[in-house]
Amino acid sequence: MTLPLPRPVFDANATGGGLGDLPDWDLTDLYPATDAPEFSRDMAWLEKACADFAADYEGKLATLDAAAMLDCIKRYEEIDVIAGRIMSYAGLRYYQNTMDSERAKFMADAQDRITTFTTPLVFFSLEFNRLDDAHLSGLLSQNADLARYKPVFDRMRAMRPHQLSDELEKFLHDNSVVGASAWNKLFDETMAGLMFKVEGEEEELNLESTLNLLTDTDRAKREAAARALAVVFDKNIKLFARIHNTLAKEKEVEDRWRKMPTPQTGRHLSNHVEPEVVEALRNAVVAAYPKLSHRYYRLKAKWMGLDKLQVWDRNAPLPIETPKTVDWDSATRTVLDAYGAFDPKMADLAKPFFEKGWIDAGVKPGKAPGAFAHPTVTTVHPYVMLNYLGKPRDVMTLAHELGHGVHQVLAAGQGELLSSTPLTLAETASVFGEMLTFRKLLDAAKTPGERKTLLAGKVEDMINTVVRQIAFYDFECKLHAARREGELTPDDINALWMSVQAQSLGDAFDFMDGYETFWAYIPHFVHSPFYVYAYAFGDGLVNALYAAYADGLPDFQAKYFDMLKSGGSKHHKELLAPFGLDASDPKFWDKGLSMIAGFIDELEAMEG
């Protein structure tokens, strides 16, 4: 069990460019203000609760009976809730404006204090993992309320072979604020502060606005944006190489001490997924590159009248696509209608996000780029962050993040320790929400051109989610393996990046000079090593799930809601069994990949 720190959660004027009123977060459900008495009260409570917990239980876990062990776990869970609430508030405020030094200081100070308070708790997982298996089984058999926590204990005890001495674990815990956490902050603040001089634009643009130009209808604008990105990344490449070198080395040192057999092992353990399942997914996707990305991009080059695509064409709108801006109200309606058509309960779960200040939608100076749903703690509710610019793809992002939000609301009933879903399953509801929205739009398409545009957009999103993320995973595997042999120069990292890009995107592409530095802005490599395969896992899983839904599996909706309500209380095998699915079957991944191939088949047939 680890105490939560905010995940990268990614302020637009209240109105912008014809999009209508864009909502901002109302964080008062966490705390009314930074100087609120509630915040000081919780901080003081946390300090005392951690000290009391250690005084009451350190060295004594093996002597507790089942009832006393349950009290112990509940006290730990309450500490988890308060620490998570404080850090969620500090983190969400920070990500609204990462350039605001007051917000950065508030978050850093909160993190420092919580790290200090919780250091006395480090003994807990170490001592718990030393409990004899037979003794623990006996306790669980005597108390059903305690037995509920077995999945948490299983995940914790999976780390038994890799835990260090109590003293070393405390040192690592204390040292974390000046280790990876500090390098993460440096990366975030550097990225948020980068400005790009894009030819043809009057003012310098931030990262989010520059990346957005890569989907512009004007090819010259797309090229100008790509070249501006390359110039600034190259200027900062030594810093980004230093961050990656340091984080990869720090991970290698800790992995070596923990006797982790591979750099990926820690991620697999936290995802509660077997290495062979991930390997089967990776191999299935790489084998499918030719029939997915290579084939689709050749088709796209033909549509665009080009012999070769450039990197700035990868996410370009199709020539037949009529540029359109989707205002916020239309986006809201589209997603809620799609959710409601699946089951009215799903739309009801999503509505409070729009009505109660649980979404921060606009693009603002200093706001972190990207989008995500942050679960905060089970006693409050999730918050969704977007950088909404009115593109059709932004509607899909809204559907995606809202899926996460619905999942987090449903899983909250499990309580703090059991609600958190492993990353591999955390993408299920988000990708399913996207698929519902896409299918609703596809069914409503009035012309072949509209259908083609929708299909192509979905294929591109799936390639970005499956092919691109597995290429990212391969890049990380190569990067961490190479770092074990010694320090990597920027050119070394660039070469690793280009090797996976050429393999995954195929022969339809020429790569401009400068593209070799585009690894630099991907936050997952910095914040969460090997996170990326979870996207491909989620997409493949949802394609198989959606096929079961489309085939009319009885009581699908009830089974689906039960799965989401389970949070982290069940293994993927157990969760998927009611749908007749098994992710450990190597053929499982081919089902999802064949859905993408089927969409490309239809697009090719339209050419005939």
pLDDT, one tens digit per residue, over 270-296 is: 888 899 999 999 999 999 999 999 999
For residue 17, give the nearest of 399, 392, 319, 391 by alpha carbon.
391
Q: Pick from 244, 245, 274, 560: which is nearest to 422 by CA?
A: 274
Q: Are 509 and 316 in contact (CB under 8 A)?
A: no
Range of the domain at 220: 195-235
Is 172 inside any structural domain?
yes
Residue among 441, 259, 260, 254 at smallest CA distance from 341:
441
Tokens representing 311 are 């990197």
The pLDDT assigned to 93 comes to 97
Pair 304, 445 in one domain: yes
Q: How confident is the model at residue 352 (pLDDT cuts 50, 70, 90)?
A: very high
The angle at the Cα of 550, spanning 451 to 444, to the nearest 5 degrees, equals: 30
Same domain, 162 and 187: no
Residues 36 and 132 in one domain: yes
Has residue 491 got a pLDDT over 50? yes
Summarised one tens digit per residue, pLDDT across range 359-375 is 999 999 899 888 999 99
> Residue 190's closest CA among 228, 238, 239?
239
Are 369 and 191 in contact by the 8 Å Cβ rule? The answer is yes
**How far is it, in rounded angstroms, from Cα 367 to Cα 385?**
10
Query: Taking each helix axis from N to C terminus, what angle separates 556-565 and 392-411, rounded to the nearest 10 degrees?
Result: 70
Residues 88 and 148 in one domain: yes
Element (H, E) at 384: strand 383-385
Task: Identify whether 362 is part of a domain.
Answer: no
Whether 317 maps to a domain, the answer reads: yes
Instruction: Quote the radius of gyration of the chain (alpha carbons, Å).
Output: 24
- Give the CATH number of the domain where residue 565 resides: 1.10.1370.20
Does 495 reside within a domain?
yes
300: left (phi over 0), alpha (psi -120 to 50) or beta: alpha
pLDDT category at 401 given cuts 50, 70, 90 is: very high
pLDDT digits (tens, 9 = 90+) for 586-605: 789 988 899 999 999 999 99
Number of domains in the chain: 3
* Residue 12 included in any domain: no
> Is 393 inside any structural domain?
no
Distance CA 549, CA 563 (A): 14
- Tell whether 269 and 225 lie within a shared domain: no
Same-domain check for residues 205 and 268: no
Same domain, 231 and 264: no
Q: What is the pLDDT of residue 321?
A: 67
